Structure 1
Amino acid sequence: MSGLFLKVKEHRRSLSGTLILCLGLSGCAAQAGSVSSIETAMVPHVAEYQFKLTHAEQGSSVVDASGVLGYRFEKMCDGWVTEMQQIMILQGAEGTPINSAYSMTQWEDFAGSKYRFRMRDYLDGTKVDEIVGEAVRDSDAVRVTYEIPVEVVEELPADTMFPTQHSAMLLERAEAGERFGNDLVFDGSGETPTNRIAVVISAQKNAENSADDPDQIARTPFHRMNLAFYPLGEAENGPSTEMAVDFGANGVAHGMRFDYGDFEVSGTLDKVTMLPQPKCGS
């Protein structure tokens, strides 16, 4: 089951990047000169998703899976903050269940020039990994400084996006009727924090979920985005992760699906609530 845990852990970290890049809007909107419209459309919120196994091939390494994901997207006076906590229980064909927990907190300024991140990974209640760092955009490169687990500095190509920058790009493409994208994105999570992300964007669809939604923010139309993650420098090996996420025009994810090869897991929006806008001085 250790190999299974490592496999799902990497997919889960990609999930973190995907949700944050697709549920939050920020930085590059300012560069595009459309801050007011995007900020008006964006809905700060908290959401909860329920996960379950939807398909397993004969001989699959997993016979059952269930879990919950808590997500918080909040606008602060100096940028966007996202928090995610996920618990997943996997039952293998043999052996005891694996209880895997994951948390990630990220902050990105409105200019898309600074990005901070903290990731923690737990297995059966014991912390097995932690990553803390900061990325700063310069004119010639994106420089990442890691504090934990080791102090090291890494340089990335100048066109590398942060997650919230990428989210704005995706939604702008969807609104414009574009169907494809290919971008380099850094999110700071896992062994492959920088990925070339290829996306296929569907036409607009009407909302289908039945979430507990007192503010009616998950009733907007959505675009289904199929994403493939190619780790930087390893594109010839094919995508490390593939998934589909349904994104509302206001930034609320209606649902998601993950293909792990021999089994599939779906995440359903269970409940979602708006958060208030910050009260900032002039």
Structure 2
Amino acid sequence: MFRRRPIVAILALAPFVSALTGAAGAATTGLLVPHRAVYDLELKDASERSGIAGMYGRMVYEFNGSPCEGYTVSFRFVTQVDNGEGVRLSDQQTTTYEDLKGRNFRFLTRTFTDEALDKEVRGSAHDGPDGVKVDLSAPEKREVSLADGLFPTAHMMAVIDRAKKGERFFEQRIFDGSDAGDKTLLTTTTIGARTAPKGDDAEASKADELATAAYWPVTIAYFDDKSSGDSLPIYRMTFKLYENGVTRDLTMDYGDFVLSGRLTDLELFKQESCE
């Protein structure tokens, strides 16, 4: 089952935000730009065990906010899955709010199958001195105490910061409210050397003013927090990350199947300054 981390990575590809005069300036100064990105999805590979004969869809990711007001993400992931006997429509809709200063995080995810609501997860979390405290209101009311970890935007701030410093690998525990919203995940991040797009990179032209900007190839692997030894990741994401937080050329590896996501449309929003 799809989990929403792709753009959270991308998703939370939301680091430093400031007043922007344009994406080109953001690309060179390393500031995050609020934006709306659309990705076309298709099945890249699938094992017999996956039960997937075909799969395609679309992902829409919208990021807004500022350091003073906090950051919001609206994320929708729609796929049609052919299991060889029929086609199922899956629609996952997620909204989050993250306050970096107060270290607060709110999340809501609704998952629909063939337009019928399958699952709703709603809650809030706070990162305090004793770890992450989660207050869930759906699917049932309960409180959960977890080990210390970063929320998605703070995590991706760390990714970009380390990339700028030339660091190539680091590990971090995160909480993003995925699944039942009651656990953290361990991540390992690998960052490649900053790279300029090649002339035959057709997808780069979809990145608007970023078409000629350099990016970092990034891979983030997510592990169960209770994993030990040489356990396999729950899934792995690979993408090209710009200094301003925009991503493209996604590969989402869930073990039994792999999806690719190609950027097809990018709209850059004006960032309001904090006063």
Question: What residue number does 2:22 align with?
Answer: none
| Greater Cα shift, 160-169 or 140-149 | 140-149
Provide the TM-score with structure 2 as the length reference.
0.86
Question: What residue number does 2:60 align with?
Answer: 70
Answering whether residue 161 of structure 2 is matched by residue 156 of structure 1, we say no
Residue 60 of structure 1 deviates from its aligned partner by: 5.8
2:82 aligned to 91, 94, 98, which one?
A: 91
2:222 aligned to 229, 238, 245, which one?
A: 229
Shift of the 225–279 alpha-carbon distance from structure 1 to 2, 3 Å rule, reads closer
CA distance in 1, matches of 2:102, 2:192: 27
Q: In the TM superposition, what whole-angstrom CA distance separates every residue of 1:206-253 from its partner, at most 9, and x where no partner exists?
A: 233245444x13542111111111111234543111121211111100
CA distance in 2, matches of 1:157, 1:58: 37
Question: What residue number does 2:171 align with?
Answer: 182
Contact 2:16 2:30 in 1 (8 A): no
Question: What residue number does 1:250 align with?
Answer: 244
Question: What residue number does 2:253 align with?
Answer: 259
Unmatched runs of 5 consecutive residues or more in structure 2: 18-26
Question: What residue number does 1:15 align with?
Answer: 6
Contact 2:234 2:255 in 1 (8 A): no
Provide the TM-score with structure 1 as the length reference.
0.84
Residue 13 of structure 1 deviates from its aligned partner by: 2.7
Could you tell me which amino acid in structure 1 is paired with residue 252 of structure 2?
A: F
| Greater Cα shift, 251-260 or 164-173 | 251-260
CA distance in 2, matches of 1:154, 1:39: 39
Q: How many residues align?
A: 259
Equivalent runs, 1:33-72 vs 2, <5 Å: 41-57=31-47, 61-72=51-62
Residue 277 of structure 1 deviates from its aligned partner by: 1.7
Question: Identity over the aligned pairs, expressed in percent?
Answer: 26
Contact 1:46 1:73 in 2 (8 A): yes
Contact 1:52 1:65 in 2 (8 A): yes
State the secondary structure of the residue aligned to 2:5.
Answer: helix
Could you tell me which amino acid in structure 1 is paired with residue 251 of structure 2?
A: R
Residue 14 of structure 1 deviates from its aligned partner by: 3.2
State the secondary structure of the residue aligned to 2:11.
Answer: helix
Question: What residue number does 1:220 align with?
Answer: 213
Contact 2:53 2:82 in 1 (8 A): yes
Shift of the 178–213 alpha-carbon distance from structure 1 to 2, 3 Å rule, reads closer
CA distance in 2, matches of 1:153, 1:26: 31
Could you tell me which amino acid in structure 1 is paired with residue 150 of structure 2?
A: M
Could you tell me which amino acid in structure 2 is paired with residue 189 of structure 1?
A: S
Greater share of residues in helix? 1
| Greater Cα shift, 253-262 or 223-232 | 253-262
Q: In the TM superposition, what whole-angstrom CA distance separates every residue of 1:22-53 from its partner, at most 9, and x where no partner exists?
A: x21159xxxxxxxxx99961111011000112
Contact 1:112 1:162 in 2 (8 A): no
